[in-house]
Amino acid sequence: MTGLELSSAVAVVGTGTMGQGIAQVALVAGHPVRLYDAAPDRARGAADAIGARLDRLVEKGRLTAEDRAAAAARITPAESLAELADCGLVVEAVLEQLDVKQRLFQDLEGVVADDCLLATNTSSLSVTAIAGALRNPGRFVGLHFFNPAPLLPLVEVVSGFATDAAAATRAYDTAKGWGKTPVRCADTPGFIVNRVARPFYAEALRVYEERVADPATIDAVLRECGGFTMGPFELTDLIGQDVNEAVTRSVWESFFQDPKFTPSLAQRRLVESRRLGRKSGQGWYAYGEDAARPEPHTAEPAKAPESVTVHGDLFPADALSELIVEAGIRLDRGQGVPEYPGSIELPSGVRLALVDGSAPDAAAEPTIHFDLALDYRAATRVALAPSGRVGEQGLKEAVGLFQALGKKVSVIGHTPGMIVARTVWMLVDFALDAVGRGVADADDIDTAMRLGVNYPLGPGEWGRRLTAYRVAEALDQLHEEYPTGRYAPSQALRRQAVREEYS
């Protein structure tokens, strides 16, 4: 079955920012659009606002004057639901309250034809629960757009428990016909993006709560080492601390308070104090004309060692060996049995090793862990965490080495998994768990995370780079350090690790 014919009218109920955005997408795609809002005159005001945005598209050369005039002729404010009777699709973007949405769709069922597709843009409620009040839940789907809808390509097409496959396919094809990138998803708390993304925020908050590093340093490490576009503290300030915390709490409660989704007390206190981020002028950071942005912790310049010895396989950090040689530092190869995980021995005898999930002082030798990077050659910052047995000279050698490789260095407190690594391990685990539970397929999850929250890699792709076996091993170590169940590898990750080990 193909998507909605362009001659079919699309109705949008609820004319706030999201409703206007969805209406603009359908309008520019060529559909007649009806706008309805329960508040008097809001639909007409929304039509005027959409017209003004179309004018700006004309000014920027993204829309011709003729197409703008044609689009303006296709948009109609509706004064009652009865005026939506001939629509082929109705998309709801009203208040996030279950009873409000259920009543709306019950009313719509009495107005529209039996073949009209009904869709909700909810981001936090169950599609199945909303449809549960309908006499024909098979034609009901979730169409979760991301804000701003005209700009962001991702649309999560959510099938409720009773959604007909034909209805989901029709919704998928319609979104694709509108120039969007749709992904299929089963009805689960948070759908794809808001479910899989929880560790990006949660692990940063845990590191902060353990006083391992401050928000500015955590953000900088995840950006400049992990390759993420924004750090979690600046991103939640942009989203709104109340909004982000509410999503986290909703997902946690929907999963019956599963410890993997536990909210942060530190973020709760921020919300209680009304430090909501940019919109309130203060969140993790201060905003305003005179507000100074705190700088991440960056180590002072140190002298690089003249030579180092690499033992074993550095695995995802293999590029460091090339960078060391290119920096003019003599690189010797260790003798004897190759070891994994590998390490870089400094002149002081201190070992530099890629972070794992073990306790800070688990290694036999004085060890400094360095964090996982998306690309060690391209990374502009690296985080180092010295164990308690590392002296001042060993730390200076480590700092000087990475500075000689062109990296800024942030020395943080030692915690299992550090910052980037524990975040990525958990994202990989959450993604595989979602695949294993039939939420979505691996490719759709990677697409959703890249397009929905702009991750540098989909978690599935990152997992393949690291291997499921090593991710599971690292999470097992974290689980030993934090035996709450939060870090216990999912069964899907364990199964994938076994498949890799014996393939």
The identity of residue 313, as a single letter, is D
The bridge status of strand 140-145 relative to strand 117-120 is parallel
Instruction: Round to the nearest angstrom and report the end-to-end CA distance of the chain.
Output: 39
Annotated active-site residue 144? The verdict is yes
Annotated active-site residue 244? The verdict is no
Q: Which of 156, 245, 345, 461 is catalytic?
A: 156
- The torsion angle over the Cα atoms of residues 488, 198, 500 and 480, rounded to 10 degrees, is -20
Q: Which of 31, 121, 126, 144 is catalytic?
A: 144
Q: What is the DSSP letter of 282?
A: B
Nearest to 242 by CA among 278, 198, 214, 209: 278
Neighbouring-strand partners of residue 409 = 382
Nearest to 373 by CA among 424, 338, 408: 424
Annotated active-site residue 156? The verdict is yes
Burial (CB < 10 A; 0-12, 13-18, 19+), residue 151, is exposed
Whose tokens are 């890249």? That residue is 450
CA atoms within 13 A on the CB side of 423: 31
Annotated active-site residue 92? The verdict is no
- What is the C-alpha to C-alpha distance for residues 40 and 19, in angstroms, rounded to an integer? 16
Neighbouring-strand partners of residue 156 = 144, 183
Q: Which of 121, 124, 159, 194 is catalytic?
A: 194
Q: Where are the alpha helices (DSSP H) in 95-214?
A: 98-109, 127-131, 165-177, 193-196, 198-209
CA atoms within 13 A on the CB side of 360: 13
The per-residue DSSP string of 466-479 comes to: H-HHHHHHHHHHHH
Q: Does residue 177 sit in helix, strand or coil?
A: helix
Which residues in 189-223 are b (16+ Cβ under 10 Å) and which e?
Answer: bbbbbbbbbbbbbbbbbbbbeeebbbbbbbbbbbb
- The torsion angle over the Cα atoms of residues 416, 420, 423 and 425, rounded to 10 degrees, is -80
Q: Which of 31, 121, 123, 159 is catalytic?
A: 123
**For residue 240, what are the contacts with CB-CB under 8 A and spacing of at least 6?**
276, 277, 278, 279
- What is the C-alpha to C-alpha distance for residues 31 and 47, in angstroms, rounded to an integer? 14
The 10 Å Cβ neighbour count of residue 392 is: 9
Residues marked active site are found at 123, 144, 156, 194
